[in-house]
Amino acid sequence: MYFENLDFDIPEGLATDDFVLRPITTADAEMDYAAVMESRDFLETWEQTGWPEVDFTVAANLEDMLKLERRHASRESFTYTIVNPAGTECLGCVYIMPPDARSFMKARITPVGNRQWDDYDAAVYFWVRKSRLATGIDRAVLDALRTWLSQDWKFRRYLIVTSELFTQQVELIDNTDLEMRFEILDDGKPGRYLAYE
C-alpha cells in the first residue's frame, strides 16, 4: 500500500503562471479549511462520505492535515495543495494514491474494455475551489497535472479518478481526450467512481 518501490525522487511540486502545487502541511489547515467549506456541496458528491460535515472545524481539518502530511512522508500516498502564485489562498488539492490503496482493495473494480488495474502505477484525484471554477482553472490544473505526472513522476501509466456524482468534473474530463478505463464501486457509497486514462 505504499509507493516504496518508486525508483525516482518524489517531485516537490509544480509552479505555473496560475497556481502552485506543493506538499500539504499542517500550516495549511486554515487556508485549506476556507476552500473546503466554500466547496462543501461539491466535495460531498466528490467524496461520497458526507465529508465535510456542516459542523466541520479548523481543528478537525488540522487533524486531517496531520494524517496527510504523515502519509506523504511515509510514501503511503501523496497530497499536494493547490495555491495561488502568492501562496495566500488555497485553490484545491491533488491526491496521488497507489493502486493497492486500502480503499481500492475493498472496492469492486470493473474494467471498461480490456484493461488490468495492476497495469497502472497511480490513481489521481483532484478538486478545485468552487469560486474558481468559472475561471477555468480546473481545466488548467488537469492539463498541468497530466504533463507533470507523465514527465516528473515518470509513471508508466496513471488514472484520473472522479465520482460520477460530481457531474461538473465528469463533464470536464469528458471534454478531453481521456477515456474511461474502470468503474469503481465502493460498498456504502451512493455512486461509482470513474477512472480515466
pLDDT at residue 177 tops 60? yes
In a domain, 105, yes or no: yes
Q: Is residue 29 part of a domain?
A: yes
Q: Are 92 and 84 in contact (CB under 8 A)?
A: no
pTM over 0.75: yes
Q: What is the pLDDT of residues 132-159, one digit of tens each?
A: 999 999 999 999 999 999 999 988 899 9
30 within domain boundaries? yes
Domain membership flag for residue 73: yes
Number of structural domains the chain divides into: 1
Closest CA to 84 of 28, 151, 146, 166: 28
Does any domain span residue 94? yes
> Is 4 a domain residue?
no
* Structure confidence at residue 103 as a pLDDT band (50, 70, 90): confident
> What's the confidence (pLDDT) of residue 163?
95
Backbone angles phi, psi at 92, to 5 degrees: 150, -165
The residue range of the domain holding 153 is: 14-196
Mean pLDDT of the chain: 93
Q: Which residues neighbour 16 within 8 Å (Cβ) at sequence distance 6 or greater? A: 140, 144
Percentage, residues of the chain above pLDDT 90: 80
Residue 183 belongs to a domain:
yes
Residue 3 in this model has a pLDDT that exceeds 90 = no
CA dist., res. 93 & res. 77, Å (int): 13
For residue 144, give every residue at least 6 positions away whose Cβ sits within 8 Å of its Cβ, in sequence order, or none: 14, 16, 19, 21
Domain contains 52 = yes
- pLDDT confidence of residue 2: 65
What is the per-residue pLDDT across 66-94, written as a single tens digit (0 to 9) for each?
999 999 998 999 999 999 999 999 999 99
| CATH, residue 61 | 3.40.630.30
* Residue 108: pLDDT over 60: yes
pLDDT tens per residue across span 40-53: 988 988 888 888 99
Report d(CA 149, CA 11) in Å as an integer: 9
